[in-house]
């Protein structure tokens, strides 16, 4: 639970800032708009990979996933773009979330990207397209509807291991 707000009953990872937060201007968690922005960019990149069949473009996306999984979503290239170009133009952060589920989702995306790269560079091509398509579907769900499959997998894993 992130200090400073009530926990949403669905997943337990989102909180809203309120008057009880003494640092109302600086939320402790991750701005929920950042991972969604990253999902939009990921959707565009993965769609371009499927259209062009470019293993190199998938490799670039795999690097983005790897940085997000290893260093956190805030430090990923898409997180940096959000923080420097998009967030200053938006209103103040209202909802934050625990950074662990999106970080886990980046690791899941990395796994699919690696499988896709194996398919593009070693074959078979159907493996590359299937893995890229699965990653694209997950990114699209997050971008369009705010539903993060990797985050939900993280929460299920946490519940199962308690």
Domain ranges of the chain: 33-160
C-alpha 117/C-alpha 65 separation (Å) is 13
Cβ atoms 144, 156 nearer than 8 A: no
pLDDT digits (tens, 9 = 90+) for 53-102: 999 999 999 999 999 999 999 999 999 999 999 999 999 988 999 999 99
C-alpha 27/C-alpha 98 separation (Å) is 11
C-alpha 11/C-alpha 149 separation (Å) is 12
pLDDT of residue 50: 98
C-alpha 80/C-alpha 76 separation (Å) is 6
pTM of the model: 0.83
């Amino acid at each position: 639970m992130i200090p400073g707000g009530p926990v949403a009953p669905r997943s337990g990872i989102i909180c809203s800032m309120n008057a009880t937060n003494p640092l109302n201007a600086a939320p402790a968690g991750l701005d929920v708009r950042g991972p969604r922005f990253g999902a939009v960019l990921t959707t565009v990149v993965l769609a371009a990979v499927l259209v062009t069949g470019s293993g190199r473009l998938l490799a670039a996306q795999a690097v983005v996933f790897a940085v997000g999984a290893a260093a956190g979503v805030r430090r990923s290239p898409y997180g940096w773009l959000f923080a420097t170009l998009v967030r200053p133009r938006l209103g103040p952060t209202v909802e934050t979330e625990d950074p662990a589920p999106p970080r886990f989702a980046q690791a899941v995306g990395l796994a699919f990207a690696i499988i896709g790269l194996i398919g593009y560079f070693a074959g078979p091509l159907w493996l590359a397209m299937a893995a890229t398509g699965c990653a694209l579907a997950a990114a699209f769900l997050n971008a369009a509807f705010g539903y993060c499959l990797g985050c939900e997998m993280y929460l299920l894993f946490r519940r199962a291991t308690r």
